[in-house]
Amino acid sequence: MTTALTLRIATRSSPLAQHQAQWVGEQLSQHHPTLKYTLVPILTEADQHTASLSSCGGKGVFVKAIQQAVLDGHADITVHSAKDMPSSDTPGLSLACVPQRSACHDVCVAQQPLAELPPQSRIGTSSPRRADLLKQHYAHLTTIPIRGNVQTRIEQWQSGHVDGLILAAAGLMRLGLTDTIIEHLDPKQFIPSAGQGTLAIECRSDDDITEQYLKPLNDSITQAALTAERACMRALGGHCHAPIAAYAYGDTALTLTAWVGNGPALYAEQTQTLETAESLGFAVAETLNQQDAQTRLLKP
């Protein structure tokens, strides 16, 4: 670190991202009372566009500039929403810490639960996964592409641009906006995105001092779940606008459920030990590939 006891935390400039980075800084201060921290907000390419994620470079646009700040020595750690990260590690960086997972599931923000909304009600989401799952479980609804931070999306719902939203529960909880939630969606039916509800903290792979500071925040069960989910995504491949999900859960053992849309739903599920999380991810992906998931995922 540039300054011995001041940790520089690179984060997106959105309110949710800064809230998450602030939380990490506070947790570090509790474990290391002499440690100070400062936020380094960075406007990423994704924050500057309102087009779909796939058209502006895929999910990596949320993290590349933040990671580069650490690689260039302008910051010491990154704090990401793990669901925004590519499934492969970035050379020069270590995924050093995965704090305990928050709520992993999706929620509905609307005047009524999804099943009770009138036919053709417009549900705002920019996620191919959410759009495909809505089509599968709530065929009477229609989806409307919508982007922007959490507050912007809620404002669009309040203004009548859409009749409802599907959002991550964790983001609303972290921002104190749970009063907008009308329905919590079962993650075993409405399967979450890989890494949803999880924070991922990176540092330079040669920065042993910072890595030691981060260790007390790491949760081994959440780390194993994220390892399995990312391994599954990595083995499946596909592109950034493919409807795909992976959700790992458990304590003494780890169960991973993965789903692929873009047609009749494909599912696979296995249980292994926490220690074999990566091989669990590969095994579930292989089961899906035996169902021809690769062909499905490569569809435009």
Instruction: Quick: pLDDT tens for 262-278.
Output: 889 999 999 999 999 99
pTM, to two decimals: 0.91
Nearest to 192 by CA among 251, 129, 273, 123: 129
Report the pLDDT averaged over residues 222-229.
98
User: Confidence band (pLDDT; 50, 70, 90) for 239?
Assistant: low
3-state class (DSSP) for residue 1 = coil
Q: How confident is the model at residue 59, as a pLDDT?
A: 57
User: For residue 25, is pLDDT > 90?
Assistant: yes
Instruction: Quick: pLDDT tens for 241-261.
Output: 789 999 999 999 999 999 999
> Is 44 within 8 Å of 63 (Cβ atoms)?
yes
Q: Report the range of poorest mean pLDDT among 102-111, 199-208, 235-244.
A: 235-244
User: For residue 3, is pLDDT > 50?
Assistant: no
Cross-strand partners of 6: 3, 36
Question: CA 86, CA 123: separation in Å to the nearest integer?
Answer: 26
Catalytic residues: 84
Residue 265: Cβ within 10 Å count: 14
For 199-249, give the DSSP string.
EEEEEETT-HHHHHHHGGG--HHHHHHHHHHHHHHHHH---TTS-EEEEEE
Q: Which residues contact 179 (CB under 8 A, 6 or more apart)?
A: none
3-state class (DSSP) for residue 267 = strand
3-state class (DSSP) for residue 145 = coil
Question: CA 220, CA 300: separation in Å to the nearest integer?
Answer: 37
Instruction: Quick: pLDDT tens for 182-225.
Output: 999 999 999 999 999 999 999 999 999 999 999 999 999 999 99
Q: Which domains does the chain have, with CATH numbers?
A: 1-104+197-218 (3.40.190.10), 108-184 (3.40.190.10), 219-300 (3.30.160.40)
Q: How confident is the model at residue 189, as a pLDDT?
A: 93
Q: Report the range of poorest mean pLDDT among 4-18, 122-136, 155-169.
A: 4-18
Phi first, then psi, for residue 191 (nearest 5°) are: -70, 130
pLDDT > 90 fraction of the chain, expressed in percent and rounded:
82
H helix count then E strand count, the chain: 9, 13
The bridge status of strand 164-168 relative to strand 122-124 is parallel
3-state class (DSSP) for residue 94 = strand
User: Confidence band (pLDDT; 50, 70, 90) for 60?
Assistant: low
Q: How confident is the model at residue 57, as a pLDDT?
A: 46
Report the pLDDT averaged over residues 167-176.
96
